[in-house]
């Protein structure tokens, strides 16, 4: 509470100029990450999670992308809108990044060892052979067997899980204070996922490194994160501790996500409830709450005005962008009741 | 942050439920509708479409509008550059005139002169016409003769005198009539006095621009005048908007006829060999197994043949009889050599599509082979075939032009753009228009089909479709 | 890699055999007796030739003689140039064509990669628009027109400066080679530029470029070490077919610039129906092109580890 946060993002807004018009991919996102903390950003495809972190790294293609508002400070230093040279002072050094698809995220014509060593050469000025040796150590650290031999191989000679380990080794080369993992396990099978998450957790704990974990897999969140932001249609709609989000979920969308998730507790015969409909068109985001058209509890105000964050009464840092949390709003069961009556009457 | 308004009870009323959640708001377009919309948005492809329509008009309708005979020679206007309609002065038929001799002057020098004066008083007698230019000058003392030169550019002293027209071997001949292949352009006549054998280093030059003219009998023969027209009148000559070639044939008419030949080969050959390739490749891909292996191995060998060399070989092998144009042998050779590329492509497509999940799904739903082919395989390969066809046209036109250029293509007198280039390149330095126009037409056609092919590729690319 | 090379060479030999056979069949489909050509003058010569090539024997036997001669590297004797062996013609004139072709493909490859990289860097800006316009021209204009224009340009340049800057035609010195090889390479250069551009733009969108940025590499390092190398790969694959295009394109360029290369002799032989020269040079060119394609494939293998290590 007392220390300034490691990363502070405020009002981040990102747009993409496309063939069909301007897509407002991220619409005013705020969050903070404390040192040594694992924060997860969850949400369905296209909700803006990847764009959020990629714009922090300055790697969204510009044009068509542009950051129209907001700031992001790492230890007080602004990250957004930097020249490549200035940005490179933290990219790869202060912030490491892992991508979704390890198969395509490594240069196919360069050996794994060279690619890892490259980071060290550029940021630490370590000469070639020595950097390569360090690369082998990093590969060993990520539990790649026969690391020395593996370092001289090319990406196509690696399996997906091994490649993601190499990616992790590469992103950790300069011991960054923050690691951004953009859906690191989505492209991998479940056993490899588990191994990798354990690996990340161990390494994170060892170095007291902060992690931003992007995922749409709630199981992964529960397993690794301490803090969670739920994104929907380019906005964070609920954030709080992992317990808050899982056990005190306040936003209907979060509730929806949870009921769409398989569980091994309780009634096995119970079918999963998908959330009906699809996210709004971000070419012209709705006036009100983005989730209102799909929300079973939508009220008049929801279609007219975007809700602000309402803090949880017990003040744990859990906040929700939902009119249902407004002090004078009706409680959910009674609303559900009236909703039902309304639809029956129609 | 938005300022909060005060919320009333009404705000918290349930919103009317919306039942159309699963409905997709954008209109659904078929593959071809979508491709057409995107092609229309592509300016370059659109321009190329207009160009192709223009070329079709030029080729098919053109000869109905510009009815000049492409084989007729206009001997008055040989290698004529593009120009507005020309008129000519009607002159009398040629009557030989006596050599102008100054009888007061001695015909030969009295000894061997060491130096001679330059010719003076050099003028043109009468109106200089393209029928004759009559020069006259004053005799030079002690001269034993004169050399007459004609150049198309101004000589510098004794350099660049041009064509030697005559060596007169008497000092008292004081005139010369030039009738050699004159055109309506500026000439520089140079006269050098001689001692009867050797030229001296003095020159007099006169600039003459003969007027375009035609004799009465020629004009009558070409039906340009009535029999009662008299010399001195002006006569309207045949109009050649793009000029004429080295035989005086109208370029525009020849370009139109050449377009019929070049575009016929350029469009018909690809149509046939792409169609053949589609059947061959589709057959191989659909059957699979050993048949496929054997068929495709043969196609591989044909692909390995060096294309242009074998075009030439086949052209020789088929031979061109007297009076034949050589279009058919070229067509056959093109088809024989170029089908395998399409066959490979289509086979690859068919194999790929056969493995797709939706084919499996259609089969599980009870779709028979003919249904699968008609409903899935053909529509999904059409795009690729169309693009191949579009790109095949320029390459066939290039091939025709190349072969005609090295003299192995369409046989004269049938014009094709390539053979016109072949003829034009010989006179490139003096009459560049004879090369320029056919080359321009080849380039525009190839450009149009290439751009259209690019546009189609982009429009039909389903990857692009999902990106937008 | 060794087995791959061996396999490619073996299939190359079969291809050359196919080319030789196709040439043989095509030439024997020629209407009339090639030896009745008025150019094979005396009865004695005719008889000698007939004996040498077994032209009085049935076709299969002729084919065997033809193949065995060819395996021994004997392409026969020219019909029109007396006492000149086809081997000698190839030996004398192919080096000229090869020198021209090598220079042309060098121009084309370096130019294509350079211009392609520049257009991709300045995508949709002025340099890109200008270069792509020239590329469209380069693809649409036939090589003989370039040759003619190149020569015209030289004539005018030499006139303008009043001295011979570059020779207009002929062969002998390096300066004779410059203009012909440039015009010969132009079409290929345009094609490679286009390919390089699209390849560069494709690579720019690859995930590993994003990774490289996230690693904090400088734009220059990303461009040279990550983007360029991967973008060149598809360009290398089309070099094989493009060598064929340049070889045949050489025919007209040699014709226009009066270069004593094999291409010009081939065209002459074709025009004079000099059958042995046509057959000999066709098979020779065929074998040469097959070899070039194999060579390019092997070179590609060395550049792309995915091929090399499989």
Which parts of chain A fold into alpha helices (H)?
A: 49-57, 84-87, 112-124, 128-141, 147-151, 160-171, 190-207, 218-224, 242-247, 252-259, 300-304, 332-345
Q: Which of B17, B21, B468 lies nearest to residue A19, judging by beta carbons?
A: B468
C125 CA to chain A: closest CA distance, Å?
Answer: 13
In a domain, A302, yes or no: yes
Q: Nearest Cβ partner of C218 from A88, A96, A154?
A: A88
Q: What does the pLDDT read at residue B272? A: 93
> Residue A111, CB half-sphere, CA atoms under 13 Å: how many?
15
CATH of the domain at A121: 3.40.50.300
Task: Report the candidate in C296, C295, C288, C292 with the shortest Cα–Cα distance to residue C16.
Answer: C288
Closest Cα partner for B69 from B253, B239, B255? B253
Q: Would you call B82 exposed, middle or buried from its count of C-beta atoms within 10 A (0-12, 13-18, 19+)?
A: middle
* Token digits of residue B136: 């006259």
Same domain (yes/no): A290, A335: yes
Q: What is the pLDDT of residues C140-179, one digit of tens each?
A: 888 888 888 888 888 888 878 877 777 777 777 777 888 8
**A249 and A216 inside one domain:** no
Which pLDDT belongs to residue B28? 64
Does position C305 have pLDDT exceeding 50, yes or no? yes
Calculate what percentage of chain A has a pLDDT beyond 70: 90
DSSP labels for B299-337?
HHHHHHS-HHHHHHHHHHHH---TT--SHHHHHHHHHHH
Q: Which chain B residue has its CA at the smallest distance from C293's CA?
A: B304
Residues of chain B with pLDDT under 50: 1-3, 24, 463-468
Residue B184 token pair: 């309506």
Residue B375 DSSP code: I
- B159 close contact with C: CB closer than 8 A: no
pLDDT value at C241 more than 70: yes
How far from C39 is each of B378, C36, C266, CA to CA, in Å? 54, 8, 17
Considering only the beta carbons, identify the residue of A293, A328, A338 that sits closest to B14. A338
Query: Which element (helix H / strand E) includes C159?
Result: helix C143-161
Check A99 against C216: CB less than 8 A apart.
no
Q: CB distance C211–A107 less than 8 Å?
A: yes
Contact (CB, 8 A) for B139 and B168: no
Taking CA–CA distances from B403, the nearest residue in chain C reads C252
Q: In DSSP terms, which residues pair with A21 in a beta bridge?
A: A18
pLDDT digits (tens, 9 = 90+) for C180-234: 899 999 989 999 998 999 898 888 888 888 888 888 888 888 888 888 888 888 8
Q: Could you tell me which chains touch chain B, where touching means 3 or more CB pairs under 8 A?
A: A, C
Whether the full predicted model's pTM is greater than 0.80, yes or no, is no
Give pLDDT, residue A343.
Answer: 41
Same-domain check for residues A113 and A62: yes
Q: State the CB neighbour count (10 A cutoff) for residue B435.
A: 24
Each residue's pLDDT tens digit, B326-367: 788 888 888 888 889 889 888 888 888 888 888 888 888 888
Domain ends where: A175, A207, A225?
A: A225
State residue B2's pLDDT score.
44
Q: Which of residues 224-263 of C touch A (CB under 8 A)?
A: 225-226, 229-230, 233
Its sign, for the CA torsion B66, B72, B75, B81, is positive
Given an 8 Å threshold on Cβ–Cβ distance, is B317 in contact with C26? yes
Domain assignment of residue A38, yes or no: yes
Residue A251 and residue A217 share a domain: no
Residues A191 and A285 in one domain: no
**Do A49 and A150 fall within a single domain?**
yes
Q: Which of C 146-165 lie inside 8 A of B, CB atoms? A: 148, 151-152, 155
Residue C103: predicted pLDDT:
92
Q: Which chains touch C (3 or more CB pairs under 8 A)?
A: A, B
Angle at A123 between CA A120 and CA A127, to 5 degrees: 50
**Complex-level ipTM:** 0.82
Q: Is the backbone peptide bond immediately before A311 cis, with ω within 30 degrees of 0?
A: no
Q: Is A264 exposed, middle or buried (0-12, 13-18, 19+ CB in 10 A)?
A: exposed
Question: Does the residue A127 lie in any domain?
Answer: yes
In 3D space, the residue among B163, A109, B461, A73 whose CA is nearest the CA of residue C234 turns out to be A109
Q: Is residue A2 part of a domain?
A: no
Dihedral of alpha carbons B150, B153, B157, B162, sign: negative
At residue C115, does pLDDT exceed 90? yes
B contacts of C285 (beta carbons < 8 Å): 306, 309
Predicted local confidence at residue B77, as pLDDT: 73
The CATH architecture annotation of domain B47-69+247-466 reads Orthogonal Bundle (1.10)
Domain count, chain A: 2
Q: Could you give the CA distance from residue B363 to residue B346 in angstroms, rounded to a whole number?
A: 21
**Considering CB atoms only, which of A277, A326, A335 is closest to B7?**
A326
B317 touches chain C (CB under 8 A): yes
Nearest-by-CA chain C residue for B441 = C141
Does the beta-carbon distance from A97 to C214 stay under 8 Å?
A: yes
Q: Do A57 and C214 touch (CB under 8 A)?
A: yes
Distance from C-alpha of B438 to C-alpha of B47, rounded to nearest angstrom: 21
- Residues A65-96: pLDDT tens digits? 888 888 888 888 888 877 778 888 888 888 88
Chain A residues in contact with B10 (beta carbon < 8 A): 300
Q: Which domain holds residue A216?
A: 7-225
Q: What are the residue boundaries of the structural domains of chain B, listed by start?
A: 47-69+247-466, 91-214
CA distance C80 to C72: 23
Determine the residue among B306, B445, B450, B458 to mutate to test chain C binding: the one whose Cβ has the most chain C Cβ atoms within 10 Å: B306
Nearest chain C residue to A105 by CA distance is C208
Ramachandran angles phi, psi of A215, nearest 5°: -160, 165
Q: Which residue of C has its CA nearest to A119?
A: C215
**In a shared domain, residues A145 and A276:** no
Contact between residue B190 and residue B161 where contact means Cβ atoms under 8 Å apart: yes
pLDDT exceeds cutoff 70 at C265: yes
CB contact under 8 A, A343 and B10: no
What is the reported pLDDT for A6? 85
Task: Measure CB to CB from residue C273 to each of B305, B316, B439 and give the nearest one.
Answer: B316
Q: Give the separation between CA A144 and CA B2, rounded to whole angstroms.
A: 51
Q: Using CA atoms, how far apart are residues C256 and B440, in angstroms rounded to an integer?
A: 19
Judged by a CB distance cut-off of 8 A, whether residue B5 touches chain A is yes
Whether residue B17 and residue A346 make contact (CB cut-off 8 A), yes or no, is: yes
- Is the pLDDT at C37 greater than 60, yes or no? no
Q: Does A343 contact B5 at a Cβ distance shorter than 8 Å?
A: no
- Mark whether A155 and A22 lie in a shared domain: yes
Closest CB from B2, B5, B17 relative to A342:
B17
Residue pairs between chains B and C whose CB atoms are closer than 8 Å: 113
| Chain A residue nearest residue B5, CA to CA | A305
Residue-wise pLDDT tens digits, A6-51: 888 888 888 888 776 788 888 888 888 888 888 889 888 778 888 8
For B91-214, the fitting CATH number among 1.10.1060.10, 2.60.40.10, 2.40.160.210, 1.25.40.10 is: 2.60.40.10
Peptide bond into A64 cis (omega under 30): yes
- A-chain CB neighbours of B12 within 8 Å are 299-301, 323, 328-330, 335
Most C-contacting residue of A90, A108, A176, A212 (CB-CB within 10 A), to test interface: A108
Report whether pLDDT(C267) > 90: no
Q: Assign residue C99 a region: left if phi > 0, alpha if psi is -120 to 50, beta otherwise? A: alpha
What's the CA angle centered on B254, arms B67 and B328, to 5 degrees? 110
Q: How far is CA B218 from CA B87, B139, B221, C201, in A?
A: 14, 36, 5, 66
Q: What is the pLDDT at residue A83?
A: 79
C255 contacts B406? CB cut-off 8 A: yes
Residuewise pLDDT in 10s, chain A (346 residues): 456 788 888 888 888 887 767 888 888 888 888 888 888 898 887 788 888 888 888 888 777 788 888 888 888 888 887 777 888 888 888 888 888 888 888 888 888 999 989 888 888 888 888 888 888 988 888 888 888 888 888 888 888 888 888 888 888 888 888 888 888 777 777 777 777 788 788 877 777 788 888 888 888 888 888 889 988 888 888 888 888 888 877 788 888 887 777 766 666 566 777 777 777 777 777 778 888 778 777 777 788 788 888 887 776 778 888 888 777 777 665 555 444 434 443 3
Q: Are residues A210 and A242 in the same domain?
A: no
A237 and A159 within one domain:
no
User: Do A154 and A111 form a contact (C-beta atoms < 8 A)?
Assistant: yes
Q: Indicate the CATH number for domain C86-309.
A: 1.10.3720.10
For residue C63, the model assigns a pLDDT of 84
Q: How many CB atoms lie within 10 A of CB A262?
A: 8
Phi, psi values for residue B151, rounded to 5°:
-130, 155
Residue A182's closest CA among A122, A302, A71, A96? A96
* B432 in contact with C, Cβ within 8 Å: yes
> What is the predicted pLDDT for the residue at C192?
92
Please tell me the distance in Å from B48's CA to the nearest CA on chain C: 12
List, for residues C185-196, the tens digit of each pLDDT value: 998 999 999 899
Q: Is B417 on the interface with C (CB under 8 A)?
A: no
Looking at the fold, whether A184 and A283 belong to one and the same domain comes out as no
pLDDT the model gives residue B11: 72
A181 and A330, same domain (yes or no): no
- Sequence-separated (6 or more) residues with CB below 8 Å from residue C100: C177, C180, C181, C184, C250, C253, C254, C259, C261
Of A88, A104, A105, the CB nearest to C216: A88
């Amino acid at each position: 509470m007392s220390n300034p946060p490691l990363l502070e993002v405020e009002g981040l807004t990102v747009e993409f100029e496309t063939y069909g018009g301007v897509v407002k991919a991220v619409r005013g996102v705020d969050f903070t990450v404390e040192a040594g903390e694992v924060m997860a950003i969850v949400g369905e495809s296209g909700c803006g999670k990847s764009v959020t972190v990629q714009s922090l790294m300055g790697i969204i293609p510009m044009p068509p992308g542009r950051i129209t508002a907001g700031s992001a400070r790492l230890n007080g230093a602004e990250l957004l809108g930097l020249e490549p040279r200035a940005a490179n002072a933290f990219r790869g050094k202060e912030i490491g990044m892992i991508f979704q698809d390890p198969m395509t995220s490594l240069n196919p014509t360069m050996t794994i060892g060279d690619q890892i060593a490259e980071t060290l050469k550029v940021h630490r000025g370590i000469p070639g052979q020595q950097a390569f040796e360090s690369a082998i150590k990093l590969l060993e650290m990520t539990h790649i067997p026969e690391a020395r031999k593996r370092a001289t191989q090319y990406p196509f000679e690696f399996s997906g899980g091994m490649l993601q380990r190499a990616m992790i080794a590469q992103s950790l080369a300069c011991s960054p204070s923050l690691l951004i993992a953009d859906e690191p396990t989505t492209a991998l099978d479940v056993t490899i996922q588990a191994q990798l998450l354990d690996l990340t957790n161990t390494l994170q704990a060892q170095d007291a490194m902060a992690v931003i974990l992007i995922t749409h897999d709630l199981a992964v969140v529960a397993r690794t994160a301490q803090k969670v932001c739920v994104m929907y249609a380019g906005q964070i709609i609920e954030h709080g501790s992992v317990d808050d989000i899982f056990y005190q979920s306040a936003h209907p969308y979060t509730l929806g996500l949870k009921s769409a998730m398989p569980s091994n507790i309780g009634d096995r015969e119970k079918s999963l409830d998908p959330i009906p409909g699809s996210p709004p068109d971000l070419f012209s985001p709705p006036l009100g709450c983005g989730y209102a058209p799909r929300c079973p509890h939508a009220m008049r105000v929801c279609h007219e005005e975007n809700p602000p964050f309402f803090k949880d009464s017990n003040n744990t840092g859990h906040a929700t962008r939902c009119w249902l949390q407004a002090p004078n709003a009706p409680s959910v069961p009674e609303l559900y009741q009236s909703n039902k009556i309304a639809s029956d009457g129609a | 942050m938005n300022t909060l308004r005060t919320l009333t009870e009404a705000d918290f009323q349930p919103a009317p439920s919306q039942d159309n959640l699963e409905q997709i708001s954008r209109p659904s377009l078929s593959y071809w509708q979508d491709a057409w919309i995107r092609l229309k948005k592509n300016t370059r492809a659109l321009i190329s479409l207009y160009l192709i329509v223009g070329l079709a008009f030029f080729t098919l309708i053109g000869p109905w509008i510009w009815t000049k005979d492409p084989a007729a020679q206009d001997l008055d206007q040989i290698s004529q550059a593009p120009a507005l309609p020309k008129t000519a002065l009607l002159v009398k038929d040629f009557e030989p005139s006596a050599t102008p001799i100054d009888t007061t002057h001695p015909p030969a020098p009295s000894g061997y002169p060491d130096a001679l004066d330059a010719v003076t008083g050099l003028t043109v007698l009468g109106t200089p016409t393209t029928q004759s230019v009559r020069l006259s000058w004053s005799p030079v003392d002690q001269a034993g003769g004169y050399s007459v030169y004609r150049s198309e550019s101004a000589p510098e002293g004794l350099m660049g005198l041009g064509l030697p027209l005559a060596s007169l071997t008497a000092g008292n001949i004081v005139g010369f009539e030039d009738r050699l292949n004159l055109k309506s352009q500026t000439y520089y006549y140079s006269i050098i006095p001689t001692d009867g054998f050797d030229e001296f280093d003095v020159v007099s030059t006169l600039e003459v621009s003969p007027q375009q003219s035609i004799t009465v009998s020629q004009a009558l023969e070409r039906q340009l005048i009535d029999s009662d027209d008299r010399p001195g009148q002006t006569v309207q000559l045949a109009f050649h908007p793009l000029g004429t070639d080295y035989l005086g044939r109208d370029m525009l008419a020849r370009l139109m006829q050449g377009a019929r030949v070049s575009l016929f080969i350029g469009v018909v050959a690809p149509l046939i060999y792409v169609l053949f390739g589609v059947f061959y490749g589709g057959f191989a891909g659909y059957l699979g197994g050993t048949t496929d292996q054997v068929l495709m191995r043969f196609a591989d060998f044909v692909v390995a043949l060096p294309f242009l060399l074998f075009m030439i070989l086949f052209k020789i092998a088929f031979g061109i009889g007297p009076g034949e144009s050589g279009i058919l042998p070229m067509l056959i050779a093109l088809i024989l050599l170029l089908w395998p590329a399409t066959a490979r492509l289509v086979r690859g497509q068919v194999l790929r599509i056969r493995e797709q999940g939706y084919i499996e799904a259609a089969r599980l739903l009870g779709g028979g082979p003919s249904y699968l082919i008609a409903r899935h395989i053909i529509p999904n390969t059409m795009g690729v075939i169309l693009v191949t066809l579009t790109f095949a046209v320029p390459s066939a036109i290039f091939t025709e032009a190349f072969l005609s250029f090295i003299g192995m293509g369409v046989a004269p007198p049938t014009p094709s753009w390539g053979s016109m280039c072949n003829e034009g390149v010989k006179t490139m330095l003096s009459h560049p228009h004879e090369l320029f126009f056919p080359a321009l037409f080849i380039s525009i056609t190839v450009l149009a089909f290439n751009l259209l092919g690019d546009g189609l590729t982009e429009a039909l690319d389903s990857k692009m479709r999902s990106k937008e | 890699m060794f087995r791959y090379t061996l396999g490619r060479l073996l299939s190359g030999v079969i291809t050359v055999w196919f080319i030789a056979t196709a040439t043989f069949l095509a030439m024997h489909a020629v209407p009339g007796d090639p030896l009745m050509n008025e150019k094979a003058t005396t009865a004695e010569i005719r008889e000698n030739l007939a004996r040498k090539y077994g032209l009085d024997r049935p076709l299969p036997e002729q084919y065997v003689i033809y193949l065995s001669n060819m395996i021994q590297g004997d392409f026969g004797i020219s019909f029109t140039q007396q006492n000149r062996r086809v081997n000698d013609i190839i030996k004398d004139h192919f080096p000229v064509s090869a020198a021209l072709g090598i220079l042309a493909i060098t121009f084309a490859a370096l130019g294509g990669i350079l211009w392609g990289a520049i257009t991709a860097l300045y995508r949709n800006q002025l340099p890109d628009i200008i270069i792509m316009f020239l590329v469209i021209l380069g693809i649409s204009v036939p090589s003989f027109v370039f040759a003619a224009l190149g020569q015209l340009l030289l004539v005018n340049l030499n006139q303008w400066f009043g001295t011979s800057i570059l020779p207009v035609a002929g062969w002998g010195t390096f300066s004779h080679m410059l203009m012909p090889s440039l015009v010969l390479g132009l079409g290929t250069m345009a094609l490679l530029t286009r390919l390089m551009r699209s390849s560069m733009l494709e690579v720019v969108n690859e995930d590993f470029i994003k990774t490289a940025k996230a690693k904090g590499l400088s734009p220059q390092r990303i461009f040279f070490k990550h983007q360029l190398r991967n973008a060149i790969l598809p360009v290398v694959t089309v070099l094989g077919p493009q060598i064929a295009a340049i070889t045949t394109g050489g025919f007209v360029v040699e014709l226009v610039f009066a270069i004593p290369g094999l291409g010009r002799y081939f065209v002459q032989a074709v025009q004079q129906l000099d059958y042995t020269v046509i057959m000999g040079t066709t098979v020779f060119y065929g074998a040469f092109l097959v070899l070039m394609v194999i060579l390019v494939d092997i070179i590609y293998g060395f550049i792309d580890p995915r091929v090399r290590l499989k």
